[in-house]
Amino acid sequence: MPLLLAASGLLDVRPGLIFWTLVTFFVVAFLLRKWAWGPILNVVDQREKAIAASLESARRERQEAEKLLAEQKDAIQKARAEAEAQKTEALREIASEKTKAVAEVKSLAGALAVQIAEKLLNERLDPSKQRELVSEYMAEVGKATGAPRPAPKQ
């Protein structure tokens, strides 16, 4: 029967033990609430606020980065369009100046040919006189175009 007594001792209701267990529980719960739960909850609340602020900051920075990226793409497109317009304008000006230069050379060559023919018709020239006349007109063309003057052939 000693075994039976030991087993029944654990299941016995002891009002004094229940009372002190409850008093200890409430004292510990009160102390934890007053000194532990408050600071723990404050730390948790601060951490929650810090995380929320970090998320909001990251969201704003992402929006700003997307805005800057869109502005940069727009600027690049504008720069490319402007460069293409400048290239087209330069090519147009080059073609125009080339056409003017060719027309001027043709006009000058025609006028020179007329002057040479006029001179030849007015006087009969021997080969040395012809060379001298051609050299003279080539010098005039050189002065008009800025080319160096060729030396007369003998």
Q: What is the pLDDT along the chain (154 residues), one digit of tens a residue?
A: 444 444 556 778 888 889 999 999 999 999 888 888 888 888 999 999 999 999 999 999 999 999 999 999 999 999 999 999 999 999 999 999 999 999 898 888 877 887 877 777 776 667 777 778 778 877 887 777 665 545 555 5
CA atoms within 13 A on the CB side of 152: 13
DSSP strands (E only) in the chain: none
The model carries a pTM of 0.42
Separation between Cα atoms, residue 32 and residue 21, nearest integer Å: 16
Q: Positive or negative CA dihedral for 57, 62, 63, 69?
A: positive
Q: What angle do CA 19, 23, 29 make, to 5 degrees?
A: 145
